[in-house]
Chain A
Amino acid sequence: MPDYVSISDVAPKQPSEAAIKRARTLLQLVPATPPDTPGNSGWTERRRREFDTTDMYGDR
């Protein structure tokens, strides 16, 4: 059994003011209502074969 290393938490205990500000700016940018499909269905069509894995967002 290897002796598992313990790394210290990389993230700071408290977010910086700048980080909070960036996140709150993001909050202002997102739409106010969720995307939805009306009618007697819960499905959202999303036919695709290619999925982008390169970033944290991708498309909707």
Chain B
Amino acid sequence: MNILGVSCYYHDSAAALVSDGKVIAAAEEERFTRRKHDSGFPKNAIRFCIDHAGLSAADVDLAVFYEKPLKKLERALVNARPHGDRAAQLIDWHLSNFVHRESRVAEDIRAVVGRDIPVEFCEHHLAHAASVFYVSPYQEAAIVTVDGVGEWATTGQFIGRSNEIEQIREIRYPNSLGLFYAMMTAYLGFEVNEGEYKVMGLASYGKPTFDDQVGQLLSLFDDGSFRNTPEYCCYTYDDQRMFTDKLVQLLGPARQAGEQITERHTNIAASMQKLCEAALVNLAKATHRETGLSNLCMAGGVAHNVVANSRILNESGFGNMFVQPASSDSGCSVGAALYAHFRRTNGTPAPLTDYDTCLGPSFTNAQIEEALGRFGAEFERVDPGQVAARTADLVHRDFVVGWFQGRMEFGPRALGCRSILGNACNAEMKDILNARIKFREEFRPFAPAVIEEASEDYFEHRGKSPYMLFCPQVKASKKSVIPAVTHVDGTARVQTVSKKLNPRFHEMITEFGKLSGVPVVINTSFNVKGEPIVCTPDDALKCFYGTEIDFLVMGDFIVSKPF
């Protein structure tokens, strides 16, 4: 059975294809349209999934949308309605969105597939829960989903057993950790649904001196739940602003976009991040008490808060934890399709010890060479057995290298398929990458990729971290060894690289280890600020020539620039 999962019309539109219970392909629409966080209908991603699987229209049995649009509209209207004229714009927006787009999504899917297939609708948090449990290493697990909002739910508590997902309870809009974080992201002058990572990085520079004030924004309860204080937030009825004047009275003037970041801003970010972590640890602890299980699965946009994830792993009582690498809404395309499969077939999912999230397009050497010819690139074709060693040598000599190999990652992190690599031992490399390559804020950290076998020599993290979803402390003795990837608070968002999942990347880091004595490299996404991660060889070449990346290693080709 071939099932298409579709998520769109909010942010990070995506499509996924599940065949006989296995995720065959998945991609975000932004990678094709080159519009970051593209919320439009994912026609290119759908086409890719069907083409990649070698299917025709007749082979697609079912499509599943990642939420229930009418239920979402109800929530929007119910919450906006008491605010009368102030909510008029918001109501109009939601009505227009429903009439123009979501109410027609089944027709749009059928138009792209090319056949009148059945289309179903999966609740949003159920899609998040399925996206993580059915690809996890567990037969049985507690599942926690946390995001901004789906239909009514903003947080879900579930138990997964074999092929069944049972919901226990949920927290409903407007109480939302995701919207709390988004509101504070907006207050601190960053773009919502984009700047949350920046705020998390910024928090490490501050001291949590605003705990008393920020603590008024959110109430935590012993049963693991929370409530937002409504007087400070207006996202229920205002489409221009997420916070009220009362928040400004509490914390001082909001930072405007581009305004200089002061100590006050970093301290507010620190207190806000601390409260978010406390809420998530409280939620996970309560879930552990409630279920008595040893495995935890997490998904939803808030599960990308890697600092909180490490605290949950260490403090919640769960022995094991698995986070969906595409935890934001794009991953719901995978979850909606997987849920439909197991509901229909009553099949038993095989726990995955190594879920591979590299589910996007790949390109042959012939396709890459054709692109190189069109760009008039200066390149060398290398023996396949030499690609890793040659790249390691370039990184060891402090060159910045674009690394384009195999299938594109699904989810926001580059995991060694569409990456920019640098020497983690060179303290200046962070500033070089931020200023000359990525064109982004100087405070933002870079992540390390380490071979799995050496991870515990460098990081205070138990187990694997193949998707960069944890942020442990760098071991005290190693902080000066890998300064380019050690954040100001001594942490690092580590990726452990296995020979099984990504053999060429593993070999490259191993070769770098032979040269430097340190099997750790900088791994940052292959894009510049404001653009999606590259998808095709053309995208990679445009990024390569538009930045000061020194070399591009694409398939078996090493591309250079005239020096």
* Chain A residues at the B interface, C-beta cutoff of 8 Å: 1-2, 4-7, 9-12, 15, 19-20, 22-24, 26-27, 30-36, 40-49, 51, 53-58, 60
Residue from the set A11, A20, A32, A35 with the largest chain B CB neighbour count within 10 Å: A11
Point out the residue from B51, B77, B165, B222 that lies within 8 Å of A26, measured CB to CB.
Answer: B77
Cα distance A54–B102 when bound, in Å? 15
Cα distance A10–B70 when bound, in Å? 19
Point out the residue from B44, B111, B225 that lies within 8 Å of A41, measured CB to CB.
Answer: B225
Given contacts A2-B48, A53-B122, A56-B70, contact A32 B32 (CB under 8 A): no
A30 close to B95 (CB less than 8 A):
no
Distance from B106 Cβ to chain A, minimum over Cβ atoms (Å): 9
B78 close to A1 (CB less than 8 A):
no
A35 close to B152 (CB less than 8 A):
yes
Chain B, 66-79, contact with A by CB distance < 8 Å: what is the 0/1 string? Answer: 00111101110111
List chain B residues, Cβ under 8 A from A47. Answer: 166-169
List the 8 shortest-distance A-B pairs measured between CB atoms, nearest first: A42-B225, A56-B70, A57-B70, A15-B99, A53-B120, A23-B95, A19-B99, A43-B169
Task: Give the segment of B17-25, B171-179, B193-201, B464-472 that binds chain A.
Answer: B171-179
A30 close to B74 (CB less than 8 A):
yes
B169 close to A32 (CB less than 8 A):
no
Nearest A residue to B74 via CB reads A30
Cα distance A31–B166 when bound, in Å? 28
Cα distance A22–B112 when bound, in Å? 27
Cα distance A11–B221 when bound, in Å? 45
Given contacts A41-B221, A53-B339, contact A34 B95 (CB under 8 A): no
Cα distance A9–B74 when bound, in Å? 25
Nearest B residue to A47 via CB reads B168
Distance from B343 Cβ to chain A, minimum over Cβ atoms (Å): 7
List chain B residues, Cβ under 8 A from A42. Answer: 155, 171, 175, 221, 225-227
A1 close to B227 (CB less than 8 A):
no
* Chain B residues at the A interface, C-beta cutoff of 8 Å: 32, 41, 43-44, 47-48, 51, 64, 68-71, 73-75, 77-79, 81-82, 91, 95-96, 98-104, 107-108, 111-112, 120-123, 126, 152, 155, 157, 164-175, 221-227, 339-340, 343, 361, 363, 367, 536
Point out the residue from A1, A11, A33, A51 that lies within 8 Å of B100, measured CB to CB.
Answer: A11
A-B contact pairs, 9 of them (CB 8 A): A6-B43, A40-B222, A42-B171, A42-B175, A44-B169, A51-B122, A53-B64, A56-B68, A56-B102
Distance from A39 Cβ to chain B, minimum over Cβ atoms (Å): 9
A4 close to B101 (CB less than 8 A):
no
Nearest A residue to B105 via CB reads A56
Distance from A38 Cβ to chain B, minimum over Cβ atoms (Å): 11
